[in-house]
Amino acid sequence: MNAVLLGPLVGAVLVAAIARHRQLSAPLVLVIAGLLVGLIPAMPEIVLRPDLVLFVILPPLLWSAGLESSFINMRRNRRSIMLLAVGLPLATTVAVGVVAYYTVPEFTLAAALTLGAIVAPPDAVSATAIGRRVGLPRRIMTLLGGESLLNDATALTVYKVALAATIGAATGWGMGLATFALAAVGGVVVGVVFGALIVVIRARLADPLVESAVGLVAPFVIYLVAEEVRGSGVLAVVVAALILGQRYTRAHYATRLQDQAVWRAVQLVLESLAFLLIGLQLPTVVQNMSGVRFSTLTVASVAVFAAALAVRAVWVVTFSYLPRMLSAGIRQREPAPTPGQVFILAWAGMRGVVSLAAAFGVPLTTLAGQRFPGRPQLVFLTFVVVVGTLLLHGLTLPWLIRRLGVRTDQDRRDAIAAASAQDKAARAAADRLDEVLASSEPSPASERAADALRTWNARRRNAARERLRRLDPDNDDSDETAAAAFRRLRLEMLAAERAALITERDDGRIDDQVLRTLLHGLDLEEATLNLD
237-252 confidence digits (pLDDT tens): 999 999 988 887 777 7
pLDDT at 309 over 70: yes
Same domain, 404 and 419: no
Same domain, 118 and 198: yes
Residue 384 lies in a domain: yes
Which sign does the torsion angle of CA 63, 69, 72, 77 carry?
negative
**How far is 27 from 35, CA to CA, in rounded Å?**
12
Domain count, the chain: 3
Residue 483 lies in a domain: no
Determine the pLDDT at residue 530.
67
**How far is 32 from 388, CA to CA, in rounded Å?**
11
Read off the pTM: 0.76
**How far is 362 from 316, CA to CA, in rounded Å?**
30
- Element holding 119 (H helix, E strand): none
Same domain, 263 and 307: yes
Q: Which residues contact 32 (CB under 8 A, 6 or more apart)?
A: 279, 391
Determine the pLDDT at residue 409.
56
Q: How does residue 224 score in pLDDT terms, banded at 50, 70 and 90? A: very high
Same domain, 330 and 447: no
**How far is 47 from 281, CA to CA, in rounded Å?**
6
Same domain, 50 and 35: yes
3-class secondary structure, 473: coil
Range of the domain at 428: 415-472
**Residue ending a domain, choose from 367, 386, 408:** 408
Same domain, 211 and 261: yes
Determine the pLDDT at residue 470.
40
Q: Over the stretch 120-150, which tens digit does the pLDDT of each residue have?
A: 998 756 666 666 666 677 788 888 888 888 8
Determine the pLDDT at residue 414.
62
Same domain, 165 and 224: yes
**Residue ending a domain, choose from 408, 427, 450:** 408
Mean pLDDT calculated for residue range 57-70:
85
**Residue ending a domain, choose from 358, 383, 408:** 408
Q: How does residue 264 score in pLDDT terms, banded at 50, 70 and 90? A: confident
Calculate what percentage of the chain has a pLDDT beyond 70. Answer: 86
Residue 485 lies in a domain: no
Mean pLDDT calculated for residue range 476-486:
49
Mean pLDDT calculated for residue range 375-404:
88
Calculate what percentage of the chain has a pLDDT beyond 90. Answer: 19
Mean of per-residue pLDDT scores for the chain: 82
3-class secondary structure, 531: coil
Determine the pLDDT at residue 462.
60
Mean pLDDT calculated for residue range 172-201:
85
**How far is 178 from 225, CA to CA, in rounded Å?**
19
Q: Are 108 and 42 in contact (CB under 8 A)?
A: no
Determine the pLDDT at residue 467.
47
Which sign does the torsion angle of CA 292, 298, 302, 307 carry?
negative
Same domain, 291 and 179: yes
Q: Over the stretch 8-29, which tens digit does the pLDDT of each residue have?
A: 888 888 998 998 888 787 888 8
Q: How does residue 461 score in pLDDT terms, banded at 50, 70 and 90? A: low
CA-only gyration radius of the chain, Å: 26
Which is more confidently placed, 468 or 96?
96
Which is more confidently placed, 133 or 424?
424
pLDDT at 466 over 80: no
Same domain, 134 and 103: yes
Q: CATH no. for residue 184?
A: 1.20.1530.20
Mean pLDDT calculated for residue range 29-40:
86
